[in-house]
Structure 1
Amino acid sequence: MTKLKRVVLTLITSIIILLIVAAFTTKKYDVVRSIVINKPKAEVFNYIKYLDNHKNFIIWKDLPGDTTWVYKGRDGEIGYIFFWKNVKGVKTVGEKEIIDINDGRRLDFELRFLEPFKAIIPSSLNTESVGPDKTKVTWTTNGKLSYPINIVLVFYDYGAKIGDDLSVGLNNLKVILEDSNE
């Protein structure tokens, strides 16, 4: 057997093994991060229920580029969508929509990436009083990587990376809210 045939056979065998592993690998991920903010629950919820405010604390706010924003609906209400397109720096296109609101308690939204890849990521922000002027904010997100892309979950801790992003966002939110009105 020639060297080229061995290389090709090894490559094909490796691809087949990866496809088999991907078939038995989870496709879903769930990520939960929390923080306590030294503000009353009503004040915290009234800030996070408006998606326009999310642009102030999400990790992507600091990425380089020229982002265009388009809005549809009434912010703070079910069905409100903001659409973004970043054509320089980190090139992304997507939208974020309010799916449900349990007023004073929980905001459900979908993050939909359209470019450079397609993904729908259901997420929520929950608020819970843990003292008179202390609120625990829990950010939950979950998603699914289709076969065979889910093989990435074997080699890369996707949940940890997303968790890091959520933690940065929650820390930014804490700074914004605790620095306000002081």
Structure 2
Amino acid sequence: MLMKILFGVAVVLLAFIAFVATRPSTFKVERSTTMSAPPSVVFALVADFHKVGTWSPFLKPDPTRNDTYAGTPATVGHSIAWVSSDNANEGKMMIVSLNPPEQLQLELEFIKPFKATNGTVFRFERAGNGTTVTWVMSGQNGFLNKAVSVFMDMDKMVGSSFEEGLATLKNLAEAEAKTAAQAAPNDALVGDPAK
């Protein structure tokens, strides 16, 4: 009887491993939103990692985490490295290429609790008087990630955080754009001394 149970468990385990092996070897999560702010304003909020914590759910201020910044904001090599006080969570994000204010490419390296390196791209496309921001993360699915994807929908899980971050980014960018517009001289009066 015990041998039959062990054989049955082995068959199920082998079937699960075979099924996991058929899962996609890459993943991609993508979300977009349009905001009433020029690309330059939105780009500045994303390309400065000192500001990213004001809108990204992944880098919200956390007293149990130590953040280290390096490089000049909005330039290749600008980075943030983080580690939790108990050393259970560690990683680094760095700008690897940029085309201001249209695109920003990042390398996202997770060290703990699991190792992974993912590419992240932000695109800023003018949409009338505003900007459509697209946030994309892609990477390789190792066996562990494939196994996890059997039980959890990564697109849905990470995508909901992207949506939350983009909504907060929209609010901040639109507030900054409004403040800048109010501080600027009235265009209708510029160059018309009669008014």
* Common topology (TM > 0.5): yes
Structure 1 segments, 4+ long, off by >4 Å, are: 62-65
Gaps of 5+ in 1: none
Q: Which residue of 1 aligns with 2:12?
A: 14
After the TM superposition, which residues 36-55 of structure 1 pair with which residues of structure 2 at under 5 Å, given as runs? 36-55=34-53
After the TM superposition, which residues 126-165 of structure 1 pair with which residues of structure 2 at under 5 Å, given as runs? 126-132=123-129, 134-147=130-143, 149-165=145-161
Amino acid at match of 1:86: S
- Distance between the aligned counterparts of 2:144 and 2:18, measured in 1? 9
What RMSD, in angstroms, separates the aligned Cα atoms of the two structures?
A: 2.0
Q: Which residue of 2 aligns with 1:109?
A: 106
After the TM superposition, which residues 164-179 of structure 1 pair with which residues of structure 2 at under 5 Å, given as runs? 164-179=160-175
Q: SS of 2:147's equivalent?
A: helix
Contact 1:19 1:148 in 2 (8 A): no
2:23 to 13, 22, 25: 25
- Distance between the aligned counterparts of 2:80 and 2:60, measured in 1? 18
Identity %: 22
TM-score by length of 2: 0.83
1:74 to 66, 72, 75: 72
Amino acid at match of 2:165: G
Amino acid at match of 1:92: N
Contact 2:37 2:131 in 1 (8 A): yes
Amino acid at match of 1:71: Y
Provide the aligned length of Structure 1 versus Structure 2. Answer: 178
TM-score by length of 1: 0.89
Q: SS of 2:143's equivalent?
A: coil
Query: Structure 1 85/148 Cα, relative in aligned 2: closer, same or farther at 3 Å?
Result: closer
Q: Which has the larger radius of gyration?
A: 2
Alpha-carbon offset, residue 153 of structure 1: 2.3
Amino acid at match of 2:155: G
Query: Structure 1 39/148 Cα, relative in aligned 2: closer, same or farther at 3 Å?
Result: closer
Contact 2:53 2:61 in 1 (8 A): no
- Distance between the aligned counterparts of 2:83 and 2:115, measured in 1? 14
Contact 1:23 1:148 in 2 (8 A): no
Gaps of 5+ in 2: 183-195
